[in-house]
Amino acid sequence: MPHDSAKKSKLSSVETRAYTIDSEPEVLAILQGAFGPAWGDQAFWRWKHLHRPGFSPQDVRVYRSADKVIGCWHMAARTLHLGRELEIAASVEGDYAMHPEWRGVGMGRDPATVREARALAERGIVARFAFTSSLLYERIYRPKLGYRRISAATALYRKLISDKALRERLQSAGERLRSRRFILKLTRDRPLVLEIEVRGFHGCALIVDAEGARCTSALETEPDLAVRVPYVLIAARTPAAAAGVMLRALFGGELQVRYVARFTRRILSALVP
């Protein structure tokens, strides 16, 4: 991380300009460099920004130094509904990316960026909104830029629908399980094999051994335990939630367990050497 004086001297070379068509390839390269190719291609960038109803070239700010694009920032002006008969002019901002060499120089607090804020206010913008992760909010957006987290009702609901996704989820659960000292002891001499059938998916085998955890579609060996569980158990996010789901499933007949005696013998043999 450069020192303050080095940062100031670096920032003094930065110019900020509105979008021009010639800056487009470099802006896209900066975005893909920061977020990966999955961010999208030129057609996506053009759709998201250039073709958005109400787009203004001022909505894209391009940071340049020595005539090279070193960063970019995007916004959309929206009339935001705040409840019945209440609306404000807002900017929704994102696609902010800097070239790796320019990260951490304090661009967000630079006087040039303060001028940008004044220009936004002159456009009638009342409040600025963005979306981020909890981690980046705590690390950057709150302490360095003064953002506050909105108390939102929005929740991300997810349901896995493919066998592949389910096996990946089970495999990471197996990895977490393997990190427990007792499971390490249990799998020291031979793998622990669980046959798992989740309603709505094909059955699979979770194999936990000294090397790691893997989930396969085919059962390669006799399982230590076989369980048939409802999908909601896989989706439970906390042990308490999982316990609640298990109890309900047990009483509802949705939870079936086989080879309990075999599994108990294996547990006991690990407990009593």
Q: Per CB under 8 A, which of residues 110..169 are in contact with another protein?
A: 113-114, 117-118, 120-121, 124-134, 137, 141-162, 164-165
Binds another protein (CB under 8 A): choice among 200, 216, 222, 265 = 200
Length of the chain: 273
Alpha carbon 140 to chain centroid distance?
A: 16
CB of residue 93 vs another protein: minimum separation in angstroms?
Answer: 7
Strands 68-83 and 192-198, by their bridges, are unpaired
Provide CB contacts within 8 A for 89, sequence distance 6+. Answer: 77, 78, 79, 80, 123, 124, 125, 126
16 contributes a contact to another protein by CB under 8 A: no
Comparison of 186 and 215: residue with beta carbon closer to another protein? 215
Distance CA 246, CA 168 (A): 21
**According to CB under 8 A, which residues from 168 to 187 bind another protein?**
none
Comparison of 129 and 259: residue with beta carbon closer to another protein? 129
Distance CA 16, CA 129 (A): 21
Comparison of 111 and 273: residue with beta carbon closer to another protein? 111
Distance CA 59, CA 120 (A): 10
> Could you tell me which stretch among 19-27, 74-82, 177-185, 221-229 binds another protein (CB under 8 A)?
74-82
Contact present, 227 and 257 (Cβ < 8 Å): yes
Comparison of 163 and 209: residue with beta carbon closer to another protein? 163
Binds another protein (CB under 8 A): choice among 11, 192, 232, 249 = 232
Comparison of 246 and 270: residue with beta carbon closer to another protein? 246
24 contributes a contact to another protein by CB under 8 A: no
Q: Show the CA angle centred on residue 231, arms to residues 233 and 191, nearest 5°.
A: 70
Distance CA 237, CA 157 (A): 12
**According to CB under 8 A, which residues from 75 to 114 bind another protein?**
75-76, 78-89, 91-95, 108-109, 113-114
* Total of residues contacting another protein (CB under 8 A): 78
Strands 68-83 and 86-98, by their bridges, are antiparallel
Comparison of 84 and 181: residue with beta carbon closer to another protein? 84
